[in-house]
Every structure is written in structure tokens, then in C-alpha cells.
Structure 1
Amino acid sequence: MNKRLSLLATAVAAGLLLAQPAPAEARIPFFSNTQEIPTLAPMLEQTTPAVVHISVAGSREVRQRLPDAFRQFFGQRGQPEYREERPFKGLGSGVIIDADKGYIVTNNHVIQDATDIEVRLKDGRTFKATKLGADPETDIALLRIEAKKLTQIQLADSDKTRVGDFAVAIGNPFGLEQTVTSGIISALGRGGLGIEGFEDFIQTDAAINSGNSGGALVNLHGELIGINTAILGPNGGNIGIGFAIPANMMKNLVDQIIEHGEVRRGSLGIRGQDVTSDLTEAMHLNVSRGAFVNEVIADSAAAEGGLESGDVIISMNGNKISSFQELRAKVGTLGAGREAKFGILRDGKERTLTIKLKELSTTQVAASQMHPMLDGAELSNAEGGGVKIESVANNSAAAQIGLMPDDIIIGINRQRVTNLAELRKMLENREGVAALNIRRGNASLYVLIR
């Protein structure tokens, strides 16, 4: 049985002004004492009105191969294609996070390329929605509707979520509105899946299916802990492995969209890797998990904040860091200009550094924007021409095809590449296999992508 990662179509909303968990006395009980039979009904009666159904329509550009009968006009080289705009419709879910302002959070892939977005509430009312902004790299989008008497969801502190906590998924799988499933939190800090550019997923076994994207993952108090985004399963079906974007990450991104109209990515300015058993033995470390700092980039936030090569970052803002990819996701989504406290291990002693993040350079982009097989790499324009591989996440698609930090992409299919814009254009217009010409130190090699 083949397994594959599939994005879901769902939408979520979480109360922006309610970043802190509700007071204990205000929380909704997860069971009723009427007949002393445990039930989630009281909590769901208060929570489900905050989860909405989203339907979209628009058009997308698709590529089609020319029929064999027409290929004689193009000779024997390649497989000619043509492009055309095709209409599409889609369904998903969303969550109301601010009732007064009509803010609704969903996944970017739910509303991407849509020109018509309609939101239907639990009470049957429908409204046209306006897209305020989105971040494809984390798959978050913010919508707004003009409506009164809305219900917003309470926002939990997702950093306090633990493996084993009960979780409830609410959404519209396969268009079946207001569907509720339950399970537990199976894992935290999941990354390296190649779904998004920045991954720090909550994993759950609550049944999630196509149409749940953008929907709510809540705790037993009805507080939002995550936005349902993707599943691992054969043919897109549920096998009990679902992924949600943590509520805290979502709020950081939405706050930036509200304030700036876009996400201003935070940058620490280091190159590094996961702490492994080999690294632990070689460096005589007394930790088994964390983000090892290989290099601190000059004039970066890390350099100004006192980080040094050889440090191991073990926590950020009081929350444990298990991998370099988890650190990258938390830093990238926190936002430029924000301060963060990093717990580090240096020379066997723990220290705390407060560092103000800088903004990720606009010339440095996630390679997943270029091609799925480059996911996990960050690119920038190289001095003297070409595209530099700034970093490569462990176990990512880019790592698996053999890309390494400091590689320089100097050509594709024997055509020279001088900057990011040229690389993007060539990959967009490619047909079949693309051969990346890589300069690695004094050596030259080719890496194939399909």
C-alpha cells in the first residue's frame, strides 16, 4: 500500500485577542453531570459555531501535452506542452478568531487562486469573504467577512500541549459540514515532511480527511490548539496520522498579516544541524536533542546576540527545541523585530541569550517556491553569479537529492543561471527532467530533478 502526504481542504479560525487560555472558571466542561455519562456535547455546542464551511471558485493555469498528431510540427525534441486556464471549485474549513472584526483563519491551499470565496456559518448564513493575506510557506491565510453575531474560538497556548492530551478535530470533510472526530496528540514538533517550507506540526490520530483543511483541532475545553492541514495516508484517506499547524505559530503569522499586510520572516543567521549520537560523542555533549550551531553568519541577529559556533540551542522562549528544523520554523514564523530567549549549552554549561530577530533577506527564499524536490533548502543570489544554497534541512527533499550548504547552482540543462529570478523562470518553463549544474568548491557536478 502506497502512502503519500496529501493536503486537506479545511479552514480554521482562532480568537486573536484571546491569545491566553481562558480562566479555569470560564472554561467549558468536557462532560455533563446530568446523567453522569461523559460527553463532549456541552463543549461542542459552544465551539462548533466558530468553525465555518468555505467554498471557493476560480481558475488555474494547467499544462497539457500536445497530441501526437501535432508533434511533427515541433520535430523530435522534447514533449511540447501548451498552457490554458481552467476553472475550478473547492471546499474547505475555517475558524473564526475574532468575532468583532470578522477574521477567519484557513489554509492557504484552500483559497489559493480563488476569485470567489464564500463562507457558510453553522446557523446557515452565507457571506462573501475577502482575503487579507496569506503565507504559502506555512499554509496560513486570513479572511474577513462583514457579519454580526459571530462566535469566535478560544485560543490555547499550544506550546503547553503534551503528547497524550485528548484532541478533537472539527471541520467539513468531503463537504459534510460540522463533522467532529476525536483522538489524542500523537507527537509534537513534526518536520522534514516536505509539506510546507516551515514545518513544526502537531500530529494527531483524530480522523482527518479531505475537506478538513483549515479546520480546528481543539482540546477538551474547546480551545484551539491547531489548524488541521495535512494527512499521511494512501490515496488521501485517513489512517490516523494527521498534522495541524500550532495555534501559537498561526497567531504569530496572522498578527503580522494584520499589522503589515504580509509575513515578515524572522532570521537568526546561523547554519546548523540536528544533534545526533555521532555529534554528541565527537563534541562531548551532554544532550541528545537540540540544534547544533555550525556557523554564525557575520552581522546577523545571532552574531549580535552572542551566539557562537559550537553552541547547542536547546530551548526557545522556554520551550524545548528538538531539531534544527523545529528551530528554523519557530524563528521564521515569530516575525522580524521580535525578541526571543534562547537556552543554549556552551562548554557543558547552560546559558540564556536574548536575541532580537532580523528580517530574512528578500533575496533569500525557500527553494520549495521553485520546485518540490528543492524543498528544505534556502537560496540566495551568489556573489559573482549563480544561486547559492544557504542551508539544507536534514532529511528534506533537497538533502535526499544530494544538495549541500554552499553549493552554487550555475546552470540548468546547460543554460547558465546567474540569479534567483532566472532559476525560477527556467524551472517554471522546464519540460521533463532538469539537470542542475552545481559548483561545489573546485568541483563541478550535476543533480537531476523531475
Structure 2
Amino acid sequence: MKGNKKFIISGAILILIGITIGLILASKFDIQTKGFSEDYQISKESQETLSKIGNAMAEVVQAVRPSVVNIYTTKKIKRQNIPFPFNDPFFRRFFDEEFGDFFGKQREFTQTSLGSGVIVDGVNGYILTNYHVIKGADEIKVKLFDKRVFDGNIIGYDAKTDIAVIKIKADGLRAIKWGDSDKLKVGETVIAIGNPYGLNLTVTSGIVSATGRANVGISDYEDFIQTDAAINPGNSGGPLVNVKGELVGINTAIFSTTGGYQGIGFAIPSNMAKVVMDNLIKHKKVVRGWLGVTVMDVDPQMAKANNMKEVKGAVVTDVQEGSPADKAKITMKDIIITFDGKEVEDSAHLRNLVVSTPPGKTVKIEIIRNGKHYSVTATVGELPAEKKVSLSDSVLAGIYVEDLTPKLRNQLGLPSRVNGVVISSIEQGARAEGVLMRGDVIVEINNQKINNSKDFAKVAAQTKGSATVWFYRNGRGLYTILNAGE
């Protein structure tokens, strides 16, 4: 009995001690909580500043959103009914006789895609977007901010810059204001608006991460604005605007290993887009300037040998006879440092400056020759049209190629033993579309070696029926068979 009393008393004492400790801890926690809220209050000034920034961003978005459109496209594609592995030439050689009809049949599919665009002329209904958004489309639908939907008609496109202009017939369109992309600074705030994953009029913001990005491998003429504003599939063709609500870029692509946003997006500068757009509306094609030189980047050794303070400019490696550069007495080894009053950063920058110059314009060019500075003038010519094989003549028609230069060889990671021509683009509707692609290096056609563009043109012109094409892609040797079809 005495033992039980002692046990009960001990238990009661422990409970009292526990309650006391709990009250003390609760009191301390309450004090710390009160101290936390008192010490970390947001000042009125900070709240007002953040509110002003938020309201300012909202005003910009509200001003721009009515100019942004969603673009929906559909196209019909035909595919041969050939299951794996019977599409392999080895299998078809033995089974064509028995299953020829099965192999030859084609099924028609409807492919849909989405993108974005921006109204640049409310009176005429012109909308700017990416070429890859409307490429090959049989039908284009444009959905406006106010939910109205219209048929879109293609005015023109330029695959080399990935720009397209479409037109709709509608009243009450609000055009966006043009901005000067040349004045963009790294670190400047920008806003991207578009239709990612079909989510209408999504707004993201970020900064300009870099300007003048080239050699990205997206288009032939690259001068991209790089931004960390989230750009995802479906944003293509939508506007990139500054804090004034002005158009400074056309969202074009992302750099991603997953297919989604990873902090690196690219936009075509508004100044480049406007030049292309004006040409497409006026001429139905893009008229580009031409100097007639082949150039490469300046390296540190060359800069040092020519007493240059900075590693900038473009080294002339070849001059085409009779070209504007030839008439201006520009020679091999000259280093072009300025063109028409603008400093030349590298070979890609010079290329963009030249093609953006109207043919017939006389420009001043500063060069360094053997360490000495000279100034020459040249009248810019019109870039000659690329030579291609007529669509009616060859199964290889519509393939644009260029000779394999040391720079291209290095970019593509090709071994020295590989010779051939690099595919620069493939025309819509060509037999090679969807089979071969830009950047592939064609090395052989129907057992004939292809060493340069002249070889390609000669062999292609003679290839009427089918063509067995051997090529390199991503460091691997591959082949495909192109058939003329019906």
C-alpha cells in the first residue's frame, strides 16, 4: 500500500513538472513568434515599390495582349503502309513481288499543330509568325484575343530566317508597337506572350540574357536575342516585348534536353523581322544584300599579328571575281572591322549586316591589311538565287546544298576522311522532306562520290527514278532510298 502511494505521488510530481516545462516552452515560443513577426514586417515603402512594379508589368501585358493571336494549323500527310522491318530494302527485295500492293498503298493522316503570332498591321490584317508554325499547312485558323476565329492566308515566308507573314480579314484589330531591337541591353526586362501547350495567352517574364547569338543551328541567318523568359512549345511566333510594350523579338525556339523550358530561349530581333516582313509584303520574296566574300572569325593569333586590341572582325578567305568586294579591291587576308558604320563582331555578324543591306546601297568598309588600317567603299549587290534542281526533273529536287568548308566540318564534327556537301535546306514538297534534313552531309548518290556542289548538281540532274543516298548525320554514316513515286 505504501509502495502504491509513493508511486502515485511520484507520478503526480512528474506530471506537474511536465506541465510546468510545457508552459515555460510555450511562453518562450510565443515570445519568439511575436519577435519574429515584429522583426520581419515588410515596410510600407517596399510594399509600395513592389506594387508599382507589379502594376506596371500588368499594364504592359494588358496593352499587348490584344495584339497576340493563337494560330492553329492542319495539314494532310501521306505515309506508305510499310511496317518495320519490311521498309528495309533487303526485305522489300524478297517480299515486293508477293506483297507489292500492300507496300505501295498510302494512308492519309491529318496532322495538327499550334503556335502564336502577333498583329503588326491592324488595317491590312497582317500577322507576323514563324515559318515553321505554318509550314506545309493546308488550313490556318487564327484565334484573336476576343475569341473570334478567322481563316489565315499566307502572304509570304522566308525559311532562312524562319519568318512568315499571314493575313486575316477582320475589323477592330489592334497592332503592336514596333521597338528597336538594336537598342536592347543584356539584363533588360522582357516579356514573352504566346500559346504554350495550347494554354491561351500565357505571359512569362525574364531578362535579355544575350544578344547577337549565332551558330545555334536553327536557321540560316541567325542574330538571336537570348532570354530566360519561359518559352515552351506553342510560344513560337509570339511576341517578345520590352517594358514599353514594344515588339523587340519574335519568339522562335528553346534550347532544351527535355523538350521543355530550361532557361534558354531565342527570339528573332524585331529589326530583322521587319526587314523580312516588308520584303515579303512588297516583293513576295526577300531581297538580300551581297558582298561576294567568304569569311571566318578572327582568332587571338591573327589579332596579335595585326596589332589589334580586340579579337573582333571577320577575315576574308576568298573573294568572288566580279563581286562588289572584288570591285572595292578587298582581297584575301583582309580583316573587315566595320561595315556601313557598324563594328563587326565576327563572321556571322558581318553576314547578317550584309544581307540586311538593300542592294544598290554604297557603304563604307574599314579593313586591316598587314596590320594597317584602310577604308574602302563598295556598292552592295543582290544575293544571287541559289541553284537548285527542277522539281520535275529529279527525285533529288528541292534539296539545297553547300560545299563542306573547314568551319562546317568542325561544327559538324566530321572526320577528315569524309567529303561531301552539306544540306542547307529542303524545299517544301520535295521527296527528301522528312527523310533528309538540314545539316546532313551527302557523300554518295547511286554509287557516285559527291565531293562538291557541282558533283551533286550533275548527279541529281541525271537521277530521274530512285536514288540511294549515303550521308552522315551526328557522326554516323546512314543511307536512304528516295523514290520518284506517282
Identify the TM-score tier after normalising by the shorter chain: 0.7 to 0.9
Per-residue CA distance 1:406-446 (angstroms, 9 max, x = gap): 999885352266443745997x976684379xxxxxxxxxx
**Pairing 1:207–2:244 present:** no
Change (3 A) 1:311 1:364: farther
CA distance in 2, matches of 1:423, 1:164: 49
Counterpart-to-counterpart distance in 1, 2:84 and 2:443: 34
Would you say how many aligned residue pairs link Structure 1 and Structure 2? 388
Match of 2:255 among 232, 238, 241: 232
Post-superposition offset of 1:399: 6.5
Give yes or no for the alignment of 1:414 onto 2:447: yes
Distance in 1 (CA, whole Å) between partners of 2:207 and 2:183 is: 14
Query: SS at 2:215's partner residue?
Result: coil
CA distance in 2, matches of 1:272, 1:406: 19
- Post-superposition Cα deviations, 1:281-324, rounded to whole Å, max 9, x if no partner, equal 34443330221112221111222234333332233344432221
1:311-350 equivalences in 2 (<5 Å): 311-348=334-371, 350=373
Find out whether 1:356 has 2:379 as its counterpart.
yes
Of the two structures, which has the highest relative contact order with CA contacts closer than 8 Å and spacing of 6 or more? 1
Paired residue type of 2:319: V
CA contact (8 A) 1:227 1:247 kept: yes
Given the alignment, which residue of 59, 78, 85 partners 1:42?
A: 59
Structure 2 distance, partners of 1:240, 1:424, is 46
2-side partners of 1:196 and 1:161: how far apart? 21
Query: Which of 109, 131, 148 pairs up with 2:171?
Result: 148
Matched-pair contact (CA < 8 Å) for 1:58–1:115: yes
The change in CA–CA distance for 1:217 and 1:410 in structure 2 (over 3 A counts) is closer
Give the distance between the partners of 1:333 and 1:346, measured in 2 at CA: 25
Alpha carbons 1:413, 1:434 under 8 Å: kept: no
CA shift in 2, pair 1:95/1:420, >3 Å: farther
Asked if the contact 1:56/1:89 (under 8 Å) is kept, the reply is yes
Contact 1:102 1:144 in 2 (8 A): yes
Going from structure 1 to structure 2, the CA distance change for 1:420 and 1:256 (only over 3 Å counts) comes to: farther
Separation in 2, partners of 1:432, 1:425: 14
**CA offset digits 1:171-198 (Å, max 9, x no partner):** 1111111111111111111111211111
Instruction: Tell me the amino acid that sits aligned with residue 219 of structure 1.
Output: N
The SS at the match of 1:325 is helix
Secondary structure at the aligned position of 2:255 is classed as strand
Secondary structure in structure 1 of the residue aligned to 2:65: helix
Structure 1: tracts of 5 or more residues without a match: 1-31, 366-374, 380-388, 437-446
Deviation of residue 280 (structure 1)? 1.9
Structure-2 residue corresponding to 1:93: 116
Q: Distance in 1 between matches of 2:163 and 2:449?
A: 35
| Higher fraction of strand | 1
CA distance in 2 between counterparts of 1:236 and 1:410 reads 31
Aligned residue identity for 1:357: V
Selected match of 2:184 from 136, 146, 161:
161
Give the deviation of 1:394 after TM superposition. 5.6
Does residue 244 of structure 1 match 2:284?
no
Look up the SS of the partner of 2:258 in the other structure.
helix
Instruction: Name the CA distance, whole Å, in 2 between partners of 1:246 and 1:279.
Output: 31
Aligned-partner Cα distance in 2 for 1:49–1:354: 46
Structure 2 CA distance for aligned equivalents of residues 110 and 344 of structure 1: 41
- Indicate which of 276, 296, 300 corresponds to 2:319: 296
**For 1:119-198, what aligned pairs fall within 5 Å after superposition?**
119-198=142-221
Measure the CA separation in 2 of the matches of 1:434 and 1:390: 13
Aligned match of 1:53: 70
Q: Which amino acid aligns with 1:326?
A: H
Residues 192 and 395 in structure 1, CA contact (< 8 A), matched pair in contact too: no
List aligned pairs for 1:352-391, cutoff 5 A.
Answer: 353-364=376-387, 379=402, 389=403
Whichever residue aligns with residue 445 of structure 2, its letter is: I
- Residue ranges of structure 2 left out of the alignment (5+ in a row): 1-47, 389-398, 423-440, 480-486
Q: Which has the higher helix share?
A: 2
On the 8 A contact 1:201/1:244 being kept in 2, the answer is yes
Distance 1:320 1:224, change over 3 A: farther
- Percent identical across equivalent pairs? 36
Is contact 2:256–2:262 with CA below 8 Å preserved after alignment?
A: yes
| CA-CA distance at 1:398 after TM superposition | 4.8
Compute the displacement of 1:265 (Å): 3.1
Distance change in 2, residues 1:242/1:359 (3 Å): same
Contact 1:391 1:406 in 2 (8 A): no
Q: Any idea what the Cα deviations from partners look like across 1:109-165, whole Å, max 9, x if unmatched?
A: 000010111111111111111101111111110111111211111111211212121
CA distance in 2, matches of 1:141, 1:108: 5
Q: 1:232 to 1:287 in 2, by over 3 A?
A: same
Task: Give the equivalent residue in structure 2 for 1:257.
Answer: 280
CA RMSD of aligned residues (A): 3.7
How many Å separate the matches in 2 of 1:251 and 1:296? 30
Superposition deviation, residue 90 in structure 1:
0.7
Query: For 1:56-135, what aligned pairs fall within 5 Å after superposition?
Result: 56-62=73-79, 66-68=83-85, 72-75=91-94, 85-135=108-158
Deviation at 1:268, TM superposition (A): 1.4
Structure 2 counterpart of 1:412, which letter?
I
Q: Report the secondary structure of 1:114's partner residue.
A: coil
Q: Bigger CA drift: 144-153 or 315-324?
A: 315-324
CA distance in 1, matches of 2:163, 2:309: 37
- Which SS does the other structure have where 1:361 is aligned? coil
